[in-house]
Amino acid sequence: MGLLTSKLMAPGTKFIVTDDVKDSTFGPGTIGIMSYLIKKNANFENVAHAHVVIIRRGKGGMDRINSNQISFPIFFDKKMLEHKDFLPSEKKYYVNIETVDYEAMDLLKIRPLDFLAWSFAYTTYLRRVVETMAKSSKGVWPSNPGHILNGARRIAQCYDEDKVSTIKAYADDKWRKEFVREARKTESALIRCVLKYKKYVSDITKNAAAFIKFTNKDFYKVAEDKDAEETMKFCDDKSEFIDRMISEKDENAGKSKNFGGMKYV
């Protein structure tokens, strides 16, 4: 089975902006961390809007931790750049991105800047899931301002004010271990919301694959029809599987369940 390669990366994935599409703000060589998918473009099913954390602008940019939004093609083909009808009319912050690896598989061993950006991006993603997929954030998100997840939400501001102190406070082994533990625990408590988010991403991926098939038929060939069809079917199967998992969670947990002092939603 041949599936189209989606650019809808998982939260926490590191990426680089390629030189296929030129943007004055996020030029080629820009590096960032994916946080979450916001929505698809209203007029172009193959264009996504996402929240990201930028750690370098351009090939020679300075280290930074900036909260930004970008647009990018879900399935990319250079021929699209030759057809304005298939590009968003507002192309500011519109780029093409590729996944890049962290220098280590272990979060405790990646460089401090990457860990800070990953922590900030992942916390922002978890908070987004709570705000958009949960019925209420009460009892779900820690209310204590001193909680490590709330501290992580301030990383970008702290880094902008004092890089050295922020790295010292948020990137040592003890803080990394505690953050990863709390982030995973919170994500587990939010499993139903996380599943709903994954279904949202899957549905948008399917629409993008359908757009590719439509483009193949009526305009110009971007990919093999069979690959687009297989991708659509894969997304349908994934969404159905997620729906079953949500139903099972609801049956097993009832309306709510205590999980590590947090409400199961």
Q: What is the pLDDT of residues 88-131, one digit of tens each?
A: 666 678 899 999 999 999 999 999 999 999 999 999 999 999 99
Task: State how far the Cα of 95 lies from the Cα of 103, in Å rounded to an integer.
Answer: 24
Beta-carbon neighbour count of residue 103 at 10 Å? 10
Could you give the residue ranges of the DSSP H alpha helices within the chain? Answer: 112-133, 148-152, 155-161, 163-170, 173-189, 191-218, 225-253
Quote the CA–CA distance of 139 and 137 in Å, as a whole number.
6
Question: How much is the average pLDDT of 213-237?
Answer: 86
Is the pLDDT at 202 greater than 50? The verdict is yes
| pLDDT at residue 222, as a whole number | 77
Answer yes or no: is pLDDT of 11 > 90: yes
pLDDT score of 260: 39
pTM, 2 dp = 0.88
184 in a structural domain? yes
Say if 75 falls within a structural domain. Answer: yes
Query: Does 8 map to a domain?
Result: no
**Whole-angstrom distance, CA of residue 28 vs CA of residue 22:** 7
pLDDT at 119: 97
Averaged over 156-167, what is the pLDDT?
Answer: 96
Q: Which pLDDT belongs to residue 40?
A: 92
pLDDT > 90? residue 263? no
Pairwise CA distance, residues 204 & 41, whole Å: 10
Residues in the chain: 265
Is residue 4 a part of any domain in this protein?
no
In a domain, 6, yes or no: no
Q: Beta strands of 47-135 (E only): which ranges? A: 47-56, 66-73, 97-99
Residue 255 has pLDDT above 70, yes or no: no
Q: Is the pLDDT of residue 258 over 50?
A: no
- Kindly report which listed range (30-34, 78-82, 140-144, 230-234) carries the lowest average pLDDT score: 78-82
Give the residue from 171, 188, 206, 194 showing the smallest Cα distance to 125.
194
Per-residue model confidence (pLDDT) at position 256 = 47
At how many degrees (to 10) do helices 225-253 and 191-218 cross?
160
Least confident piece of the model among 159-173, 203-217, 244-258:
244-258
Residue 247 covered by a domain: yes
DSSP assignment of 166-235: HHHHHSSHHHHHHHHHHHHHHHHHTHHHHHHHHHHHHHHHHHHHHHHHHHHHHT---S-HHHHHHHHHHH
Q: Which of 93-97, 98-102, 160-164, 204-208 has the lowest mean pLDDT?
A: 93-97
Q: Give percent of the chain with pLDDT exceeding 90.
A: 65
* CA-based nearest residue to 31, from 92, 104, 109, 121: 121
- Is 3 within a domain? no
Residue 88 belongs to what domain range? 14-263
Tell me, yes or no, whether 2 lies in a domain.
no
CA distance 57 to 244: 42
Count of structural domains within the chain: 1
- Least confident piece of the model among 83-87, 236-240, 247-251: 83-87
Structure confidence at residue 83 (pLDDT): 66
